[in-house]
Amino acid sequence: MKNVFDLVVQNNLCSGCGVCAGVCPAGNLAMEWNEQGEYMPTDQGRCIDSCTLCLRVCPFYPGNPDENQLGKERFEAINSMQHTPETGFWLACYAGAVSDEIERGKSASGGFASWVLGELLANGFVDEVICVEPNEDPEKLFRFARLDKPEDLERARGSAYYPVEFSEMMRYIKRTNKQFAVIGLPCFVKAIRLAARADKTLERKIPFLLGIVCGQMKSRKYTQYIASLAGVEESLEKVYFRGKRNDAPASDYNFLCRGISGKEGKISWTEGVSRIWGDRWFTLESCGYCDDIFAETADAVFMDAWLPEYVNDSRGTSLAIIRNPEILKILERNSGSQLDLSRIPVEKIIQSQQGVIENKRKVLSYRLSSRPKTIGERPLTKRVPPDVSALNCLARYHVDAVDSISSETRAWDIPKESAGEFRARISPELKRLQRISKIVRFASLPRRAAGKILRAIKKKAGRK
Ligand SMILES: Cc1cc2nc3c(=O)[nH]c(=O)nc-3n(C[C@H](O)[C@H](O)[C@H](O)COP(=O)(O)OP(=O)(O)OC[C@H]3O[C@@H](n4cnc5c(N)ncnc54)[C@H](O)[C@@H]3O)c2cc1C
């Protein structure tokens, strides 16, 4: 009998969530770092014949229900629920930011996600919150942690663009009777929903499952590489990905790090990090086959307010889609003293994530046709069909170049090659990608200009 290791991991489609390892009845799957600096389940040779549980909880296994079906099962029957193809189900959409400047400063964007988690804990909706916190172990700079006091959520604010895995937490949830609120990336949330389908007790134990929008997940080499750009080329003991700057828009933040010798480094998004992010250096291959933009199976999903009306506020603002009526009530009860909230149309949410939507729809459609995946006998199917013409010829050329850089960077052999040597080796390919990017930007000028003019006209018409 084949398991998740044979069918998903071997096909580079695992996102390392660890839910399979957490539910495996034989303890056959152990989460370990692979050579790419990603968490992967490894097969310990104890697999039970005919047990398919690891496959049934895998968010990338094609035989499982997709986000449409899981979303329907959880949300469709709820009063006033609405649905949009890009976002999945929604009850209400908000822009929000906590009013405490210190708390907001520590959060990735407006601190909305931590505020909701704090309310769930403080008002006894759950016994513990499971979220991601920093960890001063150079081998594991972030981890999932269980927090039972709202004030402990302070140390978990911010975004971890660093692999974390859920196996230990899943084992804990299964053996206790407590109730939890969990926050995770879309694929993690989907895996937990699938696990709750297989084991109904999990539905009661996890009454709140929150998501964060995810454009892509990075391996731990991403952190090591940008630390080297920041001047710290040694093992790290602390990193912070979203250091806010009061002299720049919210989208231009600092990466801060400290090495084991105490050496500190800092580099901003516009000093080269944005290119590394956008060109998908060190991005997990599975992320290229994900079609869930807004964590469609989560009770609420949080994201950055990448909109012109918010982005210039360097303190950051969060947007959220709410799908759970209890969370909606909590927000409606908020007096406004702790969280500045305003309702926004779903179109604004969609507008804020245009890049991610393009990647997880058109680019995915192209990728499925140009680099299809087969799992066992089954082709990997997603909610968009394989279609080579989803992108024009220039865009296809660009995606091919990005995917090639992405796989080159995943294979960076850190102990053998310094960051400088690595950069020099891939420099011809980088230059080629930069040339293609310039041509793509140039070719899209008329479309972007037309969009700008249209938005200005709409804004003017709205003011009248
Ligand atoms: C890998 C990744 C990619 C992202 N991509 C996008 C994107 O493309 N567009 C966009 O708008 N937003 C993206 N986000 C979300 C964004 O960075 C913020 O998390 C979001 O705006 C919420 O911010 P906040 O200030 O409301 O939350 P905060 O108050 O900062 O709280 C964030 C909560 O999320 C938890 N958390 C942080 N990292 C992780 C993680 N890796 N896994 C699980 N939980 C975590 C923390 O423990 C904390 O509880 C991404 C986040 C991650 C981790």
Centroid of ligand 1 to alpha carbon of 95 (angstroms): 15
Element (H, E) at 21: helix 19-23
pLDDT tens-place string over residues 36-68: 999 999 999 999 998 999 999 999 999 899 999
Q: What is the pLDDT of residue 78?
A: 98
- What's the rounded mean pLDDT across residues 376-392? 94
348 occurs within a structural domain: yes
283 occurs within a structural domain: no
Give the 3-state secondary structure percentages of the chain, helix then strand then coil, rounded to 5.
Answer: 45, 20, 35
Q: How far is the C-alpha of 457 from the C-alpha of 378, rounded, in Å?
A: 49
386 in the same domain as 245: no
Structure-derived torsion over alpha carbons of residues 299, 304, 305, 311, reported in degrees to the nearest 10: 170
Structure-derived torsion over alpha carbons of residues 346, 348, 353, 359, reported in degrees to the nearest 10: 60
**Which of 244, 275, 306 delimits the end of a domain?**
275
Q: Which of 126-130, 395-399, 448-452 has the lowest mean pLDDT?
A: 448-452
213 in the same domain as 231: no
Contacts of 383 (CB under 8 A, 6+ apart): 66, 67, 68, 291
Ligand 1 pocket: which of 17, 120, 159 to mutate (most atoms <8 Å of CB)?
A: 159
255 in the same domain as 201: no
Give yes or no for residue 131 CB within 6 A of ligand 1: yes
Q: What is the pLDDT of residue 464?
A: 63
448 in the same domain as 329: no
Residue 228, domain extent = 220-275
Q: In this structure, what token pair is assigned to residue 322?
A: 């709410």
pLDDT tens-place string over residues 232-278: 999 999 999 999 998 999 999 999 999 999 999 999 999 989 999 99
DSSP 385-424: ---GGGS-HHHHHHHHHHHHHHHHHHT--TTTS-HHHHHH
What is the number of residues in the chain?
A: 464
If you take atom 21 of ligand 1, which residue's CA is the nearest one?
303
Q: How far is the C-alpha of 74 from the C-alpha of 72, rounded, in Å?
A: 5
From 290, 285, 229, select the one nearest 410 (Cα to Cα): 285
107 in the same domain as 71: yes
161 CA closest ligand 1 atom index: 1
224 in the same domain as 211: no
pLDDT tens-place string over residues 196-245: 999 999 999 999 999 999 999 999 999 999 999 999 999 999 999 999 99
Provide the domain count of the chain: 3
Contacts of 207 (CB under 8 A, 6+ apart): 125, 126, 179, 180, 181
If you take atom 6 of ligand 1, which residue's CA is the nearest one?
214
Q: What percent of the chain has pLDDT above 70?
A: 99
230 in the same domain as 342: no
224 in the same domain as 214: no
3-class state of residue 201 by DSSP: helix
Q: What percent of the chain has pLDDT above 90?
A: 90
